[in-house]
Amino acid sequence: MAGSRLSSEEVIAKLIEMGFENSSAVQAVKKVGPLFNDAVEYILNGSCGDCGGAPSNSEYSTSNRKALGKRTLSSAALGQMRQSSILNHFQYTGTPKRSRNNNVPDISISSSEILARPIDDVKASITRVDCGNLKTVPEDLQVCFREEADTGLDWEQRANNLLQKHFGYSSVKSFQKEALAAWLAHQDCLVLAATGSGKSLCFQIPALLTGKVVIVISPLISLMHDQCLKLSRYGISACFLGSGQPDSGVEQKAMRGMYDIIYVCPETVLRLIKPLQGLAESRGIALFAIDEVHCVSKWGHDFRPDYRRLSVLRENFNARNLQFLKFDIPLMALTATATIQVREDILESLNMSKETKIVITSFFRPNLRFLVTLSPAFHSCSFAYGEFCGESPHKDWEMSGLAETIDASSTAEKRLALLQEPLEEGPTIIYVPTRKETLSIANYLCDYGVKAAAYNASLSKSHLRQVHKEFHDNMLEVVVATVAFGMGIDKLNVRRIIHYGWPQSLEAYYQEAGRAGRDGKLAECILYANLSRIPSLLPSKRSEDQTKQAYKMLSDCFRYGMNTSCCRAKILVEYFGEDFSYEKCLLCDVCVDGPPKVENLKEEADILMQIIAAHHGQSCYLDGSYDDTYSDSKSPRLMQKPNLRMFVSKLREQSQKFCEKDQLWWRGLARVIEGKGYIREGDDKIHVQIKFPQMTRLGLEFLEFERDQPFYVYPEADMILSMNKCKSYSTFADWGKGWADPEIRHQRLEKRRLNREPRKPRMRKSRKGKPDTRTARGRITAKLSKLK
Ligand SMILES: Nc1ncnc2c1ncn2[C@@H]1O[C@H](COP(=O)(O)OP(=O)(O)OP(=O)(O)O)[C@@H](O)[C@H]1O
Ligand SMILES: [Mg+2]
């Protein structure tokens, strides 16, 4: 629309089509000439005496709903409309039956007003007529199309027209087409596609095509807010219901069919089953879309028990129960992060039909550059300011050149070319594990003059809306957030995602990383993690099974961080069960910097495994013969579950040669050996890092048959960190580490004996005179006394 040459009459006609009064349209064109956008702005700015604006939610009551131009609005509403400005109509081409308002980034309109913008009675009645027609159309015509002008076009052309009209895109993507075709055939559908691929359109287009309402179940207020904000900009009436909705009247309006798309949290949809059945009868429900559907699964990263109860949708909205329905209302479930196990769980727990269509595309995001790096203490690091302010850590990228957008099928040359592109300017999201950190880091950045804001669920709703809006309006450089600002957020130019601290799973990590580079241009996803510490689970209510699963997911994430030799994108994509068709992404730190030098760690691997085998009384040899080099009559063979730390202390005690390599290094090696299948976790519990190692048969075979074979290994991140002596031990940890070193321990004990050095006062003892095993030092002492 914008930019096309129209005559004065055509502009006036279009304005009238949009619902503006004839006199306003004529006056506007007289004033600004045959310029459609300027004329709209002129009217919306209230420049022509009596011209009306688009409706505002808060001011717009059902009693004064009239055709747009005839509406009388309060001055406050008019003020808001003035703010709506010309951008509202950039993509608008208008239809005679509908009043649409493309709201734009607009600081003065409050979010709730933007979000809750009902359609008017006129449209609702037209819609009802349309839906009435549904009953008279031939059986095989599966939907009733809203736009009469589209008669004669096939559904794909209609969908493309709508896409062009509302969103400015030329055509639906092939996976969107597949999902829409399934919906048209009344089939349930599970859509698995990468973050930012455009899953939302799969359920938004049905609302535009049919005039029926689409109900979207969504897990996060921030996500519902985000989508409504966007839709209002594209002139589509949408609202969200649930605890985040500040206007109590919106729910009633929604149940009367006054919005095309209703976003709702699962708790609320379960409460609204009856009113929704009413809505299905009056205006019609085209589809139930369950967005971020991995939340259904206990095996997913963000399980929500209420999502599981959504099976009631299938039970309550089928043609058997509701006489007025010809077909069951289809379910469309969508996610970018579901492992194969999660997918099966989704289909089963939502009671989706046996004929559910599964639409799947690659999870690969070729323009995202993944990096993992050691996190320094935030407040003492010099990296923070520069990097968070948008300076790339890779200065040589900052050459001029035009960034290009690419998709999952892009060639290696195209992906390599991305490396030559400068990292464009754009906002950053920093994800931190705790709410407290969102505030402290946001404050820290603000002190440096960075426009930063905190986002976490404990902050006031109005603050969150404000942050969200400022983020979309490019008024913030950095949002420091918890997972509350994760899934689904769609802003095209986010250039950098920083995880400051370990994410809880690769699913969560990939979801959050997926906020970056949604415009297809190069973006960075950096994980700053303390590589010397094993991450721990954040507190949450979990069953025993869920705890196991949570540890498993955290462990996978830890291994991803420790990896130094495999393309990061490959690890991520394969985690979701996809065969990564490219060998490398060519962008991640591993691809760019290359793996570290491979080392032959045969000697170290052997001694570790022999000590483990000896402790468990396992023969190192398959014929049952026993080499007791590393067994020790005083060793705690009878002790339950000796842990890795003890094995390492023991081997360092026995050989000076291995002393320079500390626990951190051996921990890394143990993980590598576990990865080869030579040792396994001997505990019932799942640990993030192997803790109570036991030999496997394969390991015993390795010891016996591959004695002369080298054992080439890429040192993992913690091993490299250890060898670089770049440790972040506290003084206490140093002291403790000293105790683990037999030489230091001996010297200390000797010194104490000779000098009668009094015991350190902080060394607590339990009442019975035994070491206090609640403290690390006490536990070490207890272990030592057992070893003696
Ligand atoms: N057919 C299309 N042509 C061009 N752009 C499109 C098309 N469909 C969607 N997009 C754009 O892709 C972007 C991402 O869309 P959307 O938010 O639906 O992604 P998503 O798949 O839901 O991602 P996430 O998993 O992160 O929620 C949006 O800005 C959207 O406008
Ligand atoms: Mg989405």
Provide the 8-state DSSP code for 476. -
pLDDT band at 585 (very low <50, low <70, confident <90, very high): very high
Cβ atoms of 230 and 173 within 8 Å: the answer is no
Cβ atoms of 758 and 765 within 8 Å: the answer is no
Whole-number Å distance, alpha carbon 518 to ligand 1 midpoint, is 8
The mean pLDDT of 504-531, rounded to a whole number, is: 94
pLDDT digits over 272-290, tens only? 999 999 999 999 999 999 9
* In a shared domain, residues 342 and 469: no
Whole-number Å distance, alpha carbon 190 to ligand 2 midpoint, is 13
* In a shared domain, residues 231 and 352: yes
- Domain hosting 34: range is 8-45
pLDDT given for residue 206 in this prediction: 95
Cβ atoms of 102 and 235 within 8 Å: the answer is yes
Whole-number Å distance, alpha carbon 199 to ligand 2 midpoint, is 6
* In a shared domain, residues 492 and 536: yes
67 in a structural domain:
no
Pairing label, strands 712-713, 599-600: antiparallel
Q: Write the residue with the smallest CA distance to atom 5 of ligand 1.
A: 169
d(CA 310, CA 297): 12
CATH code of the domain covering residue 552:
3.40.50.300
Give me the helix-helix angle, 602-615 and 663-676, nearest 10°.
Answer: 80
Provide the 8-state DSSP code for 765. B
264 in a structural domain:
yes
Instruction: State residue 395 phi and psi, 5-degree precision.
Output: -60, -35
pLDDT digits over 676-716, tens only? 999 999 888 889 999 999 999 999 999 888 778 899 999 99
258 in a structural domain:
yes
pTM of the full predicted structure? 0.71
pLDDT digits over 91-130, tens only? 222 322 223 333 322 222 233 333 333 444 323 322 222 3
Tell which wins on pLDDT, 524 or 783: 524
CB-side neighbour CA atoms (13 Å) of 158: 22
The ligand whose atoms approach the alpha carbon of 204 most closely is: 1
The ligand whose atoms approach the alpha carbon of 159 most closely is: 1
* In a shared domain, residues 36 and 20: yes
Closest CA to 287 of 325, 337, 232: 325
Least confident of 321-325, 456-460, 669-673, 766-770: 766-770
* In a shared domain, residues 335 and 452: no
Ligand 1 proximal residues by C-beta, below 6 Å? 167, 169, 172-173, 176, 193, 195-201, 336, 488, 490, 492, 514, 518
750 pLDDT more than 90: no
pLDDT given for residue 407 in this prediction: 62
* In a shared domain, residues 532 and 576: yes
Length of the chain, in residues: 788
Cβ atoms of 464 and 455 within 8 Å: the answer is yes
Spell out the residues 6+ positions from residue 282 whose beta carbon is closer than 8 angstroms to its own: 128, 256, 257
Q: Write the residue with the smallest CA distance to atom 4 of ligand 1.
A: 169
* In a shared domain, residues 378 and 513: yes
Whole-number Å distance, alpha carbon 193 to ligand 2 midpoint, is 9
Q: Write the residue with the smallest CA distance to atom 6 of ligand 1.
A: 198
Residue type at 317 in one-letter notation = F
Q: What is the CA radius of gyration of the chain?
A: 31
| Complex confidence, ipTM | 0.99
Atom of ligand 1 at shortest range from CA of 335: 25
Least confident of 90-104, 152-166, 307-321, 443-457: 90-104
The mean pLDDT of 543-548, rounded to a whole number, is: 86
The tally of domains found in the chain comes to 4
50 in a structural domain:
no
Cβ atoms of 209 and 150 within 8 Å: the answer is no
* In a shared domain, residues 374 and 347: no
Cα 314 to chain centroid distance, Å, stands at 27
Q: Is the dihedral of CA 781, 785, 787, 788 positive or negative?
A: positive
pLDDT digits over 31-69, tens only? 788 877 677 666 655 555 444 333 333 222 222 222 222
* In a shared domain, residues 333 and 376: no
* In a shared domain, residues 560 and 614: no
pLDDT given for residue 618 in this prediction: 58
d(CA 525, CA 516): 7
